[in-house]
Amino acid sequence: MSLNTPVVLLGALCIFGGLLNVKGSYEKDFLTAHNKYRRIHRAPPMRLDSSMTRQARAYAQRLARMGSLQHSSSSERPGQGENLAMACGSGGLSAQRAVAMWYEEVCKFNFDYPEQSRGAGHFTQIVWKNSVALGVGVAHSGRCTYVVGRYRPAGNRRGQLKKNVAKGSFDKSHCGG
């Protein structure tokens, strides 16, 4: 699966262009998308946490007011990891699309030597085995949609990649090469 939309990664993910409309229960769709990818990598299913979702929603609204992406401080989200996405265009940003963009980093991940992988932190946070609680916030400003994913406990701990990120049934043909 390849993305037809230009993607820029700067610690958080920004995309611009025509995207899918946000429909239905954003939180449910966000959780479903995460658990679909987690099954591939033999990670236990996540569950939505209402407190984390409220916090993520408040932070997404803050990002929308700022008009840019910036990770929250660790003191604002103790023990939680965070993925951010922003899309500007006519269609918004669906939960499935936000998670799929983060997951695409799997193509940069080296399952044999995980500590040598660079640029795959969004992917590894999605499938991090020990992260089991999930929060999501979405906010809109003009033609832009801001998405905040929160994960507890936080993933992406050095020295723990091999233990927490499994190849599972992942097929490299997903990456188109």
Task: Return the pLDDT at 15.
Answer: 37
Q: Bridge-partner residues for 141, per DSSP?
A: 144
Predicted pLDDT at 156: 95
H or E segment to which residue 95 belongs: helix 95-103
N- to C-terminal Cα separation, the chain: 10
pLDDT at residue number 177: 63
Q: Is residue 18's pLDDT more than 90?
A: no
Q: Which of the four pLDDT bands, split at 50, 70 and 90, describes residue 76?
A: very high
**Which parts of 26-156 are beta strand (E)?**
47-48, 81-88, 133-141, 144-152
- For residue 144, is pLDDT > 90? yes
C-alpha angle 133/42/79, rounded to 5°? 25
- Whole-number pLDDT of residue 122: 98
Residue 165 near residue 114, CB atoms below 8 Å: yes
